[in-house]
Amino acid sequence: MTQKRSFVPLAVAALALCHCNSGSSANHDATFHDGETPLTDGGLADSTATHDADLPPVTVVVSSDQTIAGHPHTIDYYIPSNATKAIVFLHGGGGSKEGFAYNLDIKSSNASSSYEVSTDGKSWLIDQKVAAIFPQGQKIGVLKPSTWSNYLMDSGVDDVGFLKDLVTSMKSNPSLSNVKKIYLVGHSNGGVMANRFWCESPTTFDGYGALAGPPAAELDPSGSAHPCNPAVAKPYIAIFGDHDSQLQTAGNMAANTWTVISYNADSNAWSTTNAGEVLNELVYYTDKRVNMTCGGSAAQPITSGQLTTYSDCANTLELIIVAQVGGDAGDHCLRTAVSTCITTLAGNTGLDYKTAVFDFLKQH
pLDDT of residue 52: 56
pLDDT of residue 265: 64
Name the phi and psi angles at 239, rounded to 5: -130, 125
**C-alpha span between 362 and 40 (Å, rounded):** 27
pLDDT computed for residue 215 by the predictor: 97
Handedness of CA 192, 197, 202, 204 (dihedral sign): negative
Q: For the chain (length 364 residues), average pLDDT per consecutive 10?
A: 42 42 34 32 34 77 97 98 98 95 96 93 98 96 87 95 98 97 98 98 98 96 89 97 97 96 75 86 97 95 98 98 98 87 96 98 96
- DSSP β-bridge partners for residue 83: none
- Is the Cβ–Cβ distance between 128 and 358 less than 8 Å? yes
In this predicted structure, what is the pLDDT of residue 266? Answer: 60
Angle, alpha carbons 348-350-351 (nearest 5°): 115
Distance CA 165, CA 26 (A): 6
Which pLDDT score is estimated for 53?
A: 60
Distance CA 311, CA 343 (A): 26
Q: How far apart are CA 282 and CA 163, in angstroms?
A: 27
Distance (Å) of CA 294 to CA 73, 210, 233, 310:
36, 20, 8, 14
- Going along the chain from its start, the domains and CATH numbers come out as 42-361 (3.40.50.1820)
